[in-house]
Chains A and B, each alone.
Chain A
């Protein structure tokens, strides 16, 4: 999505891969050198050498902005120095590993927050990340690989990018690189092969990356067409031989509870809303609006979920109501919601007896609305 003419914000470009060692940084540096030769002012704002000789060779000759050194527990860590980049004010800044979490004591918790600052100063940023770091894909990646990824980037940050480039390599070539010691140090290779890099994981993540990149291209086409009035036979239409009819805009409502599964619900709701270009709302219903009678743990969980929803740019509200499912359904009707997202009950019998199995109760009472009971993707299979 390009900023409007005259906007001073810098463009963001993301090199998207599916694992360490696919060649994201290498590709980024290769493209950057092309531009540097065209007298564009390119600097390396953050670079993680990982002791990979091919990649290190690419960075030679490019100007590097010194990293910020931070002492944490008697050790020195290096982070990107956003202020130094702003002072240097290049045309293009290269920043490795967008999903990185800064060491405690840094000015900002996440590297993507540092990047926001640089973009706001009108500097173009090129960066790298893996598909599994996209927030809304977290549970799907868990379901596919059995591994929960901790460092994530909110979807809206990815959506900001003017361009997403897929960096593709076959799993076979990647495994060869790994075994030759070109990705990790020898002592880490065994562990990598048994974990993330095992069996079908790589193929599945690779497919996810290609589909995500295709979707990102599609979204940017929509954006371009809307502003330019450009008309071209779109792939999906030509595939089924009919023109997309005008459909009413969808509105998705996520039902927030104290249950830990709510995070999963929020991520899935966000993802589906983005794909359907739908509005996304979230609601927590309680007997009293102050939440005073909740236990401390429950209250903290609810507040965490509300904050999480808002961090993904979902409008989240708290409403008082004695009958929780009915209040959710009434709210949905009042707000022209087309689809309610509810969690799967964890099958605790006492909860079912106490009538706290809200999801199924909402399914029963929302006869005029679509209700989606979201999967528990922490389990690997469809069962």
Chain B
């Protein structure tokens, strides 16, 4: 594939565009405020946004609100219209029907992760939210990392806290907007009643919370990256390079694959990046070499890499195309490739690769 072809809209892209326009017609947007723990101030940030929208003339109401309320939160709530919850035998639930009848532009739903009492129209609150969105009502909602299903176990391992109320991560990825409410761990604990000492990690509790904080920041970065990619695709512009480190290892039968994969794994971990390991088959590969390549690819997958075999008459061209498509920032290649990928027509393949990938670091490994 040539670069110029990347810009021609594919059927998938046209579909994306159509979908994006469709949601725009509905006009309803989902905005999620993500926090790494209670006490970071999600509810305040969210309600404050509802207040500002209300003051600018948007029709904003409060559909559900947390039990524990600070003074600041109370002040904002007193300025906004609230839809009273539905009292059922099994407990309180957001009154979806009343909200639909009221039909505001924006509705605050706090928190997002809640299980509705048995007999409610939806089992989970996130399904209530979907219903509001389908009916053209924008939603502001908040969620704590603990309640994201895919993170539940990790958070539990760190804090020992468990929950039965979870939402799928895919729901976060489907949001139009996601915002992280970040706050230093000491301030978070302080808001929950602890003594404020000095800034930075100073005790075990703060240390544990900082682990959650890192997870929440990376999760948000991941969502932002996905949004960026779809923006780039729907607008038909060039991919954006360098927001995240992405490593690409090019394997050959004689390369020092073990060292390259170990280094790639370490780099992926330290940079919280992504790792790809590829192999472009050469003609006349011996049985021994091809089984060695398979071993390398397997150990790469074990190290957390995404592997791919690229079929091409011109392996270097295939690497270059792959690197561009995946927005690679660093390519790892073995010195040994000098001999293996030699091609009289094109000259030294490593130098050719270096010259063809100006915006990418190329790291040449010893044989």
Contact = CB atoms under 8 A, between A and B. Distances in A.
B364 A232 contact: no
B303 A370 contact: no
B335 A268 contact: no
B214 A375 contact: no
B211 A235 contact: yes
Contact of A210 (B199, B217, B271, B354): B217
Given A168-B181, A247-B266, A204 B367 contact: no
Nearest to A206: B224
A339 B357 CA distance: 20
Interface of A: 1-2, 11, 13, 31, 34-35, 38, 124, 140, 143-144, 162-163, 165-170, 172-173, 199-200, 203-204, 206-208, 210-211, 213-215, 217-218, 220-221, 223-225, 228, 230, 232-240, 244, 247, 268, 275-277, 339, 344, 347, 360, 363, 366-377, 379-383
B241 A382 contact: yes
Given A172-B177, A200-B232, A371-B363, A347 B355 contact: yes
B148 interface: no
Given A232-B158, A268-B361, A360 B265 contact: no
Nearest to B187: A31
Interface of B: 3, 31, 154, 157-158, 177-184, 186-187, 196, 198-202, 204, 207-208, 210-211, 213-215, 217-218, 220-221, 224-225, 227-228, 231-232, 235, 237-244, 262-263, 265-267, 269-272, 303-304, 320, 323-324, 327-330, 335, 350-351, 354-367
Contacts of A228: 204, 207
B221 A214 contact: yes
Contacts, number: 226
A165 B183 contact: yes
B199 A11 contact: yes
Nearest to A15: B182
Q: Which of A165, A234, A347, A383 has the most CB of B within 10 A?
A: A383
Given A163-B184, A170-B177, A211-B221, A200 B366 contact: no
Contact of B242 (A163, A232, A377): A377
A191 B23 CA distance: 30
B358 A383 contact: yes
Q: Which of A223, A339, A369, A372 has the most CB of B within 10 A?
A: A372
Closest 9 pairs (CB-CB, A-B): A162-B200, A214-B217, A210-B221, A240-B304, A166-B182, A203-B228, A207-B243, A372-B363, A170-B177
B171 to A, nearest CB: 17
A217 B213 contact: yes
A217 B214 contact: yes
A203 B214 contact: no
Nearest to B200: A162
